[in-house]
Amino acid sequence: MFKFLKGVVAGSGTGVKDLPYNIGEPYSSAWGSWTHSHGTSKDDGSPVSIFSLSGNVQDGHIAAGRNGVKRLRTVRHPNILSFLHSTEVETHDGSTTKVTIYIVTEPVMPLSEKIKELGLDGKQRDEYYAWGLHQIAKAVSFLNNDCKLIHANVCLASVVVTQTLDWKLHAFDVLSEFDGNKEGSAGSMLQYAWLVGTQYKPMELAKSDWVAIRNSTPWAIDSWGIGCLIYEIFSGMRLTKTEELRNIASIPKSLLPDYQRLLSSMPSKRLNTSKLIENSEYFQNKLVDTIHFMEVLSLKDSVEKDTFFRKLPTLSDQLPRQIVLKKILPLLASALEFGSAGAPALTALMKMGSWLPPEEFNFKVLPTIVKLFTSNDRGTRVALLQHIDQYGPSLSAQTVDEQVYPQIATGFNDTSAFLRELTLKSILVLAPKLSQRTMSGSLLKYLSKLQVDEEPAIRTNTTILLGNMANYLNEGTRKRVLINAFTVRALRDTFPPARGAGIMALCATSSYYDVTEIATRILPNVVVLTIDPDSDVRSKSFQAVDQFLQIVKQYNEKGDTGDASMTDLGAPGNSSLLGWAMSNLSLKGKASEQVPVAVGGSSAPLATTSSDTSSVVDAVATTAMLTPLRTSSSMDLVDQPVPASPTSTDGWGELENGLDDHDSDKDGWDDIEPLEEPKPSPALANIQVAQKRPVAQPKPALSQPKSAASSSQPKSTVRKAKDDDDELWGSIAAPPPKTTSKAMSLGAPKTVDDDLWGAIAAPPPMTKAKPLSAGRGRGAKPAAPKLGAQRINRTSSGM
């Protein structure tokens, strides 16, 4: 029998060298003769607690210790210390054999030391003690009522605290079955009761009145022990003699009636711990109710859950901070991860997580957030995107690129405009962590579609996002995306804030354009907006014209001094000047009724847009500072033909990002057609026509003979320049309009012989005069008009 019991206690080890745990420093206190030490696993370094007991083979403490190991292995309950491993070691010293028992459990700390460490007081202390006593009472009730076992030594020393601040019962050396049927025999009941201190023994146990013990209830002895525990934790002192239990000055008034019933001198009248849990007023507080609700969360209906989690962020401020972080936060994270909690719980999770140090936040909260991105619940996705500025910077680049972005990208195609906008804004936080392949091969395709979205707020914010993330794009991608996105798309938008955002995005990214692009592609498109019907757009366009003209002037001055280097000109792309121009979308309003509110930062609160379509965003920033630009030539632009711009590929073009030459790796700008947009005002339509005017190549010097000019430039030069300009944004152009009143038609430019500026010229005179022929001086001579018509023609020709 002894060999069998020894084998049960010893487990799989045969000595300390075989114990798969490292023994660390001991705590200053432990129950009985046991030593409680820190420990770690040799496999993964995870923390554990190691209890050890040494003595001679014949020592009664060793026999009791073996009883405690056997009981701890077999009794399982959430509020009883969790057993992991045990072993027994024999050492010989001459004729004496010494035995040491080791028990390995989950990592815990003695309750007395944890109370000092927490340093709680007042209401928060009472709430935490109530939760701890509630847990110990449940463990004792389980032993007494369900298992018919008697612990016999419930006190401060027999309680330990886990890393999540849960109280757990241990010290099972005296644990025995309650056998009330064998009245005439002492049997093995409480055979190790001599280990219990006299101050903790009720009267019947102190007198060894086994008949009275058997005739009493199974919970009589342990109810007395609960009373001793209550006295010790509230008084802050160890119980030294039974008479001290009469001192009730430190006992809370709401707990006092139950305390007195637990310590009744008559065993049969002592309060059952199960009744203590159910009926005591002391256990009815916010902390106990909150933790209990979360532990049975799966049993609650959706309405109860929603109400609870909406109150939890406010409630968490009123609870002990350490309890919230170590107990409630893990419960909340687990509930979210396994689907027991809905989207409202994420707000509480983020608030509690903000109280953690960065390293703990990354360990305890981030894994749960990453897993939540796989959820198909729209409410959860919205909550994740709304709080992305809180956890986004903590995500690693690999996690963002491989796990988070693929899930977020599905929101770009969502049917909800609100979710599309939130997805768009979240990219500003994630862009620094995305790879070039992801940005060029996937992200820009989505942004290309969003720039022609049916919601004007989304179109506006897409332009702002591009301006803000320009510095994260590689040089080749910037050359093929920025100008075309800002001029071909943004400056021609019928929504005034979208045009204003395009102007400011050009200013904020001015350092990425060379002087040729500024002179031939940017200024012509910006200048025409100086007569925009919207005053805010006009104001921004004048600022932009001044900024870009200053860059060109500085380049010219450098050229005059013989130094055409652009290293000291321009301004770095200051994307920080761009904040979100648009507020949140109004889901009930129509697209044409969406207008912006004042420009704010990227973290500005979201609001519903107004229905006044004539209002625009406030100025996003003042004129950007000038920064260096570079060019490789010092030749005078006036004397040389304009070289082909490196960015004059179509629209957003095919991005040079080092990707394989697959169709899927091309930028999405070249295969997206703008959506139908509302008919623009006549003034805006005139501006759009002017913007489509091709930039002509410089003419030969006047001093050059005509024959020389014709010989130096082939006849096809002008035509080729025109064709190249036709392809500037042809692939992203909208299809030809069905009617001439189509607002945003980007059709091919007129022929060379057409009056390119006729659309914005002064209205014709009221008299019906035959217009001048496109080829002046050629063809048949027209009939002589009347004098009035001749004056009109002379005036027209002089214009």
Express each pLDDT in 543-574 by its tens digit. 999 999 999 999 888 876 655 554 445 444 44
Helix axes 286-295, 122-141, angle to 10 degrees: 50
- Residue 101 CA to residue 385 CA, distance in Å, equals 54
Tokens of 660: 């394989």
**Cα–Cα nearest to 399, from 423, 427, 371:** 371
- Residue 799 CA to residue 788 CA, distance in Å, equals 17
Tokens of 68: 């405690």
Greatest distance between any 2 Cα atoms in the chain = 145
DSSP 3-state of 102: strand
**Cα–Cα nearest to 647, from 746, 553, 515:** 515
Given this model, what pLDDT does residue 135 score? Answer: 95
For residue 562, give Cα distances in angstroms to 551, 553, 566, 638.
17, 14, 12, 15
Q: Are 462 and 454 in contact (CB under 8 A)?
A: no
- Residue 155 CA to residue 240 CA, distance in Å, equals 12
Q: Are 571 and 624 in contact (CB under 8 A)?
A: yes
Q: Which helix (H) or strand (E) is 103 found in, with range?
A: strand 96-105
- Residue 466 CA to residue 510 CA, distance in Å, equals 13
Which residues lie closer than 8 Å to 415 by C-beta, 6 or more apart? none
- CA dihedral for 458, 460, 461, 465, sign (positive or negative): positive
Q: Which helix (H) or strand (E) is 557 found in, with range?
A: helix 535-560
Given this model, what pLDDT does residue 342 score? Answer: 85
Tokens of 179: 């056998």
Extended strands (E) in 252-339: none
Given this model, what pLDDT does residue 730 score? Answer: 38
**How would you classify the pairing of strands 167-169 and 159-162?**
antiparallel
Q: Are 15 and 87 in contact (CB under 8 A)?
A: yes
Half-sphere exposure of 63 (CA within 13 A, CB side): 10
Half-sphere exposure of 704 (CA within 13 A, CB side): 12
Place of tokens 């004059």: 648
Given this model, what pLDDT does residue 629 score? Answer: 29
**How would you classify the pairing of strands 176-177 and 149-150?**
antiparallel
Low-confidence ranges of the chain (pLDDT < 70): 1-15, 180-188, 560-799
Sheet holding 159-162, edge to edge: 108-110, 159-162, 167-169
For residue 786, give Cα distances in angstroms to 17, 204, 779, 790.
121, 136, 21, 6
DSSP 3-state of 56: strand
DSSP 3-state of 79: coil
Q: Are 56 and 99 in contact (CB under 8 A)?
A: yes
Given this model, what pLDDT does residue 680 score? Answer: 64
Q: Are 620 and 504 in contact (CB under 8 A)?
A: yes
Burial 37-69 (b: 16+ CB within 10 A, else e): bbbbeeeeeeebbbbbbbbeeeeebbbbbbbbb
- Residue 66 CA to residue 88 CA, distance in Å, equals 9
Q: Are 154 and 229 in contact (CB under 8 A)?
A: yes
**Cα–Cα nearest to 629, from 568, 676, 689:** 568
Half-sphere exposure of 536 (CA within 13 A, CB side): 22
Given this model, what pLDDT does residue 90 score? Answer: 87
Which residues lie closer than 8 Å to 334 by C-beta, 6 or more apart? 340
Beta bridge partners of 150: 176
DSSP 670-703: GG-PPPP-PPPPHHHHHHHHHHTPPPPPPPPPTT
Q: What is the dihedral of CA 348, 354, 357, 359, to 10 degrees?
A: 70
- Phi and psi at residue 559, to the nearest 5°: -65, -40
- The 10 Å Cβ neighbour count of residue 499 is 26
Given this model, what pLDDT does residue 691 score? Answer: 63
Which domains occur in the chain, in start order? Answer: 21-108 (3.30.200.20), 110-282 (1.10.510.10)
- Phi and psi at residue 520, to the nearest 5°: -100, -20
**What is the total residue count of the chain?**
799
